[in-house]
Amino acid sequence: MINTDSSNSTSQKNIITPGPLPSSIQINADGKLKHFLTIEGIPPLLLEEILDRSQQFVSLPNKAQVQAPLLRGKTVMNLFFENSTRTRTTFELAAKRLSADLVNMDIRTSSATKGESLLDTIRNLEAMGCDMFVVRHSSSGAAHFIARYCAPHISVLNAGDGRHAHPTQAMLDMLTIRQHKGDFTPLQVAIVGDIKHSRVARSQIHALSTLCTGEIRIIAPKTLIPQGIENMGVSVYHEIEKGIKDVDVVIMLRLQHERMTTALLPSVREYYARYGLTEERLKLAKPDAIVMHPGPVNRGVEIDSRVADGSQSVIMQQVTNGIAVRMAIMSMVMG
């Protein structure tokens, strides 16, 4: 677990083991969302409800979205202990469109840099009358920890914690897939890249499994596949040509060099030569396959620019859907 001693800086890269996550932590007695920390353990019907409500927000004109009063009088605090562009901005837009009061906490100028513990930081923010914490942290389990110890009236949304989970990203990916493909049960979905260090991949696998996806394929070099990944119900491939053959969805992941503690690849050039998604390789998938990427996109590393900008790419749609999904989840956890 996370050490709450004030001598520990929140910038530490230690890994917190989240441990078992009882559904009661995330879900109230009446079956409604209280927090959104991980996809794991959330019932399929609740995931479908998130997707349905997200689609309702997508369908609204921008003007109607901006005027939605569902969080009027509520205070949302963005606590981003890691850098972010898309996630932080879409959470900010989602809160504003729901008429919430929003505070973006700048961790670089906060007391956390002076040695204040994570728990003390949360206690002080609670005293300011917050209703929701949106948390991104480099330590796995940080959002889970905050949800356990924060005041009962506060909801916590996990915006990414270490290698553990990124549940809202997974849900916007599921929404994008459903918009193009409808039913998940006949689909073959390939996730390609740095699976070992990707919190997004873990959340995607849990979401796809919960939604009864036909087949989930993992494609990566052996050094970038975590031990025991097969236990999550996926098929493992080490050659991209075999892995994306006849799939309906191709999800590319970036190489997360910042989380690699040893040299796991000979070179970026060789990685692209063996695993980069090119136009020729994409032809191996089904003709109507869609190409996805959670971002940031590293062109010429995991994906060719002609594919990233091509007719089968839905990467920008993912970004747009991120606002609607986060609006849906924020409105659901606040009742």
Which amino acid makes up residue 185? T
Please tell me whether residues 171 and 311 are part of one structural domain. yes
Concerning whether 283 is annotated as a catalytic residue, the answer is no
Query: 127 and 31 share a domain?
Result: yes
Q: Which position has the higher pLDDT, 30 or 63? A: 30
In the residue annotation, 222 being an active-site residue is answered as no
Q: Is residue 14 part of a domain?
A: no
Q: Are residues 188 and 176 in the same domain?
A: yes
Q: Are residues 63 and 154 in the same domain?
A: yes
Phi and psi (nearest 5°) for 132?
-150, 135
Same domain, 216 and 116: no
Q: Which residues pair with 105 in a beta bridge?
A: 79
Q: Say yes or no: 156 and 112 in one domain.
A: yes
Please indicate, yes or no, if residue 212 is contained in any of the structural domains.
yes
CATH code for position 46: 3.40.50.1370
Same domain, 172 and 70: no
Residue 32 annotated in active site? no
Residue 164 annotated as catalytic? no
Which of these is catalytic: 53, 86, 88, 259? 86
pLDDT digits (tens, 9 = 90+) for 116-147: 788 888 999 999 999 999 999 989 999 999 99
For the ranges 16-25, 230-239, 325-334, which has the lowest average pLDDT? 16-25
Say which of 34, 74, 136, 196 is annotated catalytic: 136
Q: What token pair was written down for 35?
A: 């927090």
Q: Mean of the per-residue pLDDT values for the chain?
A: 88
Q: Report pLDDT digits (tens) over 299-309.
A: 999 999 999 99
Q: Which of 63, 108, 109, 114 is catalytic?
A: 114
136 is catalytic: yes
Q: Do 177 and 127 sit in the same domain of this protein?
A: no
Query: Does pLDDT of 234 surpass 70?
Result: yes
Res. 113 pLDDT band, cuts 50 70 90 = low
Domain count, the chain: 2
Distance CA 59, CA 272 (A): 38
Is 18 within a domain? no
- Helices marked H in 194-288 — which ranges? 199-210, 240-243, 268-275, 279-282
Q: Check residue 17 and give its pLDDT.
A: 43
Q: What is the pLDDT of residue 173?
A: 98
Residue 15 lies in a domain: no
Choose, from 35, 96, 163, 166, the residue flagged as catalytic.
166
pTM (predicted TM-score): 0.89
| 136 and 175 assigned to the same domain | no
- Domain assignment present for residue 267? The answer is yes
Mean pLDDT for the stretch of residues 68-79: 93
- 87, 90, 210, 213: the catalytic one is 87
H-run or E-run covering 218: strand 215-219
Helix (H) or strand (E) holding 160: strand 155-161
Per DSSP, the three-state class of 96 is helix
179 with 296, same domain?
yes
pLDDT at 166 over 80: yes
The three-state secondary structure class of 331 is helix
7 within some domain: no
Answer yes or no: is 1 within a domain. no
Domain span at residue 326 reads 23-165+320-333
Instruction: Identify whether residues 196 and 271 lie together within a single domain.
Output: yes
Determine the average pLDDT of the residues in 252-268.
Answer: 66
Q: Which residues contact 81 (CB under 8 A, 6 or more apart)?
A: 10, 11, 107, 112, 135, 136, 137, 138, 142
* Band of residue 170 on the pLDDT scale cut at 50, 70, 90: very high
Which two tokens mark 177? 């897939």
The model's confidence at residue 14, banded by pLDDT at 50, 70 and 90, is: very low
Task: Tell me whether residue 204 is in a domain.
Answer: yes
Same-domain pairing of 128 and 246: no
Q: Is the pLDDT of residue 326 over 60?
A: yes
pLDDT band, very low/low/confident/very high, at 84 (cuts 50, 70, 90): confident
Measured from the Cβ of residue 74, the count of other Cβ atoms closer than 10 Å reads: 19
